[in-house]
Structure 1
């Protein structure tokens, strides 16, 4: 009985290997998805088929209807459909697979871009946290896994009714950084930063303030040191980005297609791959 069982297993493996090795190229040249695996594909050249495997953490993008594109992309960018099989994960520090974008286990505003197992650290802008599902930086209160104090330095908004005549929002100085401040919206703190060349000046009434010149803010006069602020302000005004002394909060940064930092390396065409022997 044992020998029969071994024979059946061997026959099944042989049949599977035979089916893979006998892929017939539909055309002389092209790149075709594997029928079961999402990270494997067939490369046809002169009507000869070669089985290829994308880098660990990448999948074959079969969106080209003409099958002329050889492209491996991040797993989360590829619709695998019925191609459910995938190579086992190969992990390195901060990388669940050799290629991909992964969240940090300890800090919710940090994520890692991994390329061939090498991890590059990225941090969301102040007040934002990395959303694991959408893979963008959002306000920390919009990310379930993140606590506001993790990215807000422990700042807590005043209790309802504590500040009179504050309107729909209130502004509060950052305890450690002259350029930063918090806006409280319905009890939720969100961290902002004044335009470069300015610092936050606490207003006359509780919960108010504006971005002003450092020389007009006691204790923050030397915030920028020896930087030429006049040249910085002139360049910002010419670019239309100056926003000095505004009485309204700056617009919240809209979630970008990619996290709002220098873009991590993107899978290129002819992405790293390994040939199956």
Structure 2
């Protein structure tokens, strides 16, 4: 009986609120004065209360009130419209619509649309920032665990690398010929050479550069049968080189770098010297 009374009260309240809204014009879409995910649709001066999808909010930025647009909550300035419908969650989705960080991996986030989650992963060395909602250097993301920053690689201590230029040094990735680490002020960040090249360890400690695979012993066959000349001339390569991001080539598994005594060293577990 109590549930019936409560439901009836909700329906009455909703009807009363709907009747209390007077359309300013014959046609238009107007924000609710309390709820950010509700709005009024006016047609022939008749008002209808509408609700955006769970995780969406009504974008009231159109000064002419002619646009019916529900956008992700983080994209909408709700102002004093602070009320929202209770969240409806599905796996990886706090609400049916939105972009949400992965609970376990700091480089992974999920784009949720009607409760269906699509997985996205930041480029190597980057992590998803929950506030800025972009991929940033992993060491700049507070939620990112230490062991996930640059896959746990630890920069050499100050003065340990004799060939380093000040506090800057480069180090080969232990598992992939194309990747390398840059240490700046003791912070490691993972980079990737442009397609068609691999990282060649320099003559001095902490140095190196991206070179042709045939010039790097042990990494000559990194790209297999791919036509590197065609790749280098492609517009795609030009875009990747300008971004500096590391990409996989045709989903090719990484090839371990041959041991040379100058590869990256793993971080020490906590509590050990």
TM-score scaled by length of structure 2: 0.81
Deviates more, 1:13-22 or 1:123-132: 13-22
Greater relative contact order, per chain length (Cα 8 Å cut-off, separation 6+): 1
Q: 1:92 to 1:126 in 2, by over 3 A?
A: same
Other-structure match for 2:224: 225
Query: Aligned to 2:18, which of 2, 20, 23?
Result: 20
How far did 1:49 drift? 1.0
Other-structure match for 1:114: 112
Q: 1:225 to 1:11 in 2, by over 3 A?
A: closer
Q: 1:67 to 1:170 in 2, by over 3 A?
A: same
How far did 1:113 drift? 0.3
How far did 1:165 drift? 3.7
Query: Aligned to 2:131, which of 120, 128, 133?
Result: 133
Other-structure match for 1:191: 190
Query: Aligned to 1:97, which of 86, 95, 103?
Result: 95
1:201 partner SS: strand
**CA distances 1:127-184 after superposition (whole Å, capped 9, x unpaired):** 0110011101110111111134314222111111101241131000000000000000
**Which aligned pairs between 1:113-262 and structure 2 lie closer than 5 A?**
113-167=111-165, 168-235=167-234, 239=238
1:138 partner SS: strand
Q: How many residues align structurally?
A: 240
Mapped to 2, the partners of 1:199 and 1:134 lie a distance apart of 32
Contact 1:58 / 1:100 at 8 angstroms: preserved in 2? yes
Q: Is 1:56 matched with 2:47?
A: no
Contact 2:194 / 2:241 at 8 angstroms: preserved in 1? yes
Structure 2, gaps ≥5 residues long: 247-273
Taking only aligned residues, the RMSD between alpha carbons, in angstroms, comes to 2.6
Q: 1:236 to 1:195 in 2, by over 3 A?
A: farther
Other-structure match for 2:83: 85
Deviates more, 1:21-30 or 1:130-139: 21-30
Mapped to 1, the partners of 2:134 and 2:236 lie a distance apart of 30
Q: 1:240 to 1:94 in 2, by over 3 A?
A: closer
Q: 1:236 to 1:49 in 2, by over 3 A?
A: closer
